[in-house]
Structure 1
């Protein structure tokens, strides 16, 4: 059963899941490289806090976007 509607939403979900995953991988790489290369605890702490705030903001935005999409699909406004 192949439907363009299902394909469209499957692609959307894939990319919505890909954004936080990419942010998490980038976070691990940046903290690891900076922490191991400099040994600067204050700088590493700042980067960790900054990246955590960025990840929380991105996840909240995606969560709100998903809720809006669910409501639109449930009310057939798409």
Structure 2
């Protein structure tokens, strides 16, 4: 992974809707970055249709939506 501003990291699924296997929820992968003081980056997900963002370990991401011109990295 490549580090960008604010300790954010690149990920091939950024901008795509993915499944959080820890919760079974789907959300748009908005960022890969540390959460607070924890140094390990996590996935920051926004619920489909909006709402409160949540985090999950990167290892819990699965089933990304297919790449389209609207969500191409």
Report the TM-score, using the length of structure 1 for normalisation.
0.22
**Greater strand share, structure number:** 2
**Greater helix share, structure number:** 1
